[in-house]
Amino acid sequence: MAVRTLSRPRRWSGEMRREALQGFLCISPWLVGFVAFALGPMIASAYYSLTDYRILRAPDFVGLDNYKEALTADPLFWRSFERTAVWTVATVPAGIIGSLIAAILLHQGLRGTSIYRTMYFLPSLTPTVAASLLWMWMLHPDAGVVNWLLSLVGIRGPGWLSSTKWVVPALAMISLWTGIGGGRMVIFLAGLQGIPEELYEAAEIDGAGTLRKMLHITVPLMTPTIFFNLIMGILGSFRAFDMAFLTTEGGPAYASYFFALHIYYHAFQYYSMGYACALSWFLFAIIVILTAIQFGSSRRWVFYQAVR
């Protein structure tokens, strides 16, 4: 009894109550925003996903029909899902490895490193719309600089964004251009600077070369940051919309038709809001599952340096 009163006072003191009230007051903007712009819309979306809702007429309850239709009667559902998976595999690992290599290159103590770092970083500042426009121009099949440069070494460049085979590699190239030297590289660079020099010295005494040092010291110590960036990368690639929509609108022949485009077309081109909401829940579920898997598996391969 005495213990209980000690650990949890039955009555709150006036001071604590006031502090709690002030606390809630402080976070109230977020709380209101959370209900108005996240929780509320999520509940509404869950309801609409069970209806046939064509904006001009009131929603008509149809149960799980939208979900059933997506899984069984909508070939573009699977097509866009497959395209998004391909996009993720094409961009996320390459982006992480690219950023890690760039960070390692910038960590060699070369003269003028801060200039190179800025040059690597600049593309990540380009607004997506500007990046899309400039690459559409650079990848122009007949007048683009990329195909001209390829022609100098005797390669006849493809139609890039108008080729079903090359559109995903082309978009991946754009996303690597904006992604490799961006925030992820800066994070890796900070991580590299946090690795104690003694570890490398000890390895050198044991006769380890550059590659061995990298594989046995750098990479294991960087796993927490790699892990964080893997989550962020996959979250980003599953929502990918802007660049594909701006450059190809999902084409040619649905070759760059990502899941987010499928949602957009149903919501704002065909105005089948109910179906679009159901689609968006598939997207959300996939993202939650992937995040959970990554957190679950992280214990096996993420190495946290013992500090303190």
Partner 1 sequence: MATIKVQTRFAASARSASIERSIRRGVLYVVVIVTALMFVFPYFWTVASSLKSPLELMRWPPTVIPRELHPENYPAVFKEAPFAQFLWNSSVVTASATLGQVLSALVVAYGFARLRFPARGFLFSLCLSTMILPPQVTIVPLFLLFRKMHWIDTLYPLIVPAYFGSAFSIFLLRQFIMTIPYELDEAAIIDGASRLSVLWHIIMPNSGPAIATVAVFSFLGHWNAFLEPFIFLNTNTKFTLPVGLRYLMRIPTGPGLPKDNLLMAASVMMTLPVIILFFVAQEYFVQGIVTTGLKG
- With DSSP H G I counted as helix, E B as strand and the rest as coil, what are the percentages for the chain, rounded to 5? 75, 0, 25
CB of 197 to partner 1, least distance (A): 18
Site for partner 1, residues 198 to 257, rule: CB under 8 A: 225, 228-229, 235, 238-239, 241-242, 246
78 contacts partner 1 (rule: CB under 8 A): no
Q: Do the Cβ atoms of 66 and 275 come closer than 8 Å?
A: yes
Determine phi and psi for 52, rounding to 5 degrees.
Answer: -100, 110
Give the one residue of 64, 89, 97, 110 binding partner 1; rule: CB under 8 A.
110
Residue length of the chain: 308
CB of 109 to partner 1, least distance (A): 10
Site for partner 1, residues 17 to 76, rule: CB under 8 A: 19-27, 29-34, 36-38, 40-42, 44-45, 48, 55
User: Strand runs (DSSP E) across the chain, as ranges?
Assistant: 51-52, 60-61
Cα separations (Å) of 138 from 135, 149, 224?
5, 11, 37
Kindly state the DSSP code that residue 304 receives in the 8-state scheme.
-
CB of 173 to partner 1, least distance (A): 11
Instruction: Give the rounded distance of the alpha carbon of 92 from its chain centre.
Output: 8
Between 2 and 101, whose beta carbon lies closer to partner 1? 101
Site for partner 1, residues 171 to 190, rule: CB under 8 A: 177, 180-181, 183-184, 186-187, 190
Q: Do the Cβ atoms of 90 and 169 come closer than 8 Å?
A: yes
Measured CA to CA, the distance from residue 185 to residue 176 in angstroms comes to 12
* Residue span 287-306 as binding mask against partner 1, x where in contact by CB under 8 A, dash where not: xx--x---------------
Piece of the chain touching partner 1 by CB under 8 A; list 71-79, 86-94, 104-112, 296-304 = 104-112
Determine phi and psi for 209, rounding to 5 degrees.
Answer: -85, 180
Piece of the chain touching partner 1 by CB under 8 A; list 67-75, 87-95, 195-203, 266-274 = 266-274
Comparing CA positions, the residue from 146, 213, 135 lying closest to residue 172 is 135
Q: Count CA within 13 A, CB hemisphere, residue 123.
A: 19
Three-class secondary structure of residue 259 per DSSP:
helix
Count CB atoms within 10 A of the CB of residue 201: 10
Piece of the chain touching partner 1 by CB under 8 A; list 69-77, 82-90, 101-109, 160-168 = 101-109
Q: Total binding residues for partner 1 by CB under 8 A?
A: 89
Between 70 and 180, whose beta carbon lies closer to partner 1? 180
Site for partner 1, residues 147 to 166, rule: CB under 8 A: 148, 151
CB of 46 to partner 1, least distance (A): 9
Give the one residue of 64, 97, 134, 215 binding partner 1; rule: CB under 8 A.
134
CB of 166 to partner 1, least distance (A): 18
Piece of the chain touching partner 1 by CB under 8 A; list 66-74, 84-92, 133-141, 296-304 = 133-141
142 contacts partner 1 (rule: CB under 8 A): yes
Measured CA to CA, the distance from residue 164 to residue 7 in angstroms comes to 66
Between 46 and 253, whose beta carbon lies closer to partner 1? 46
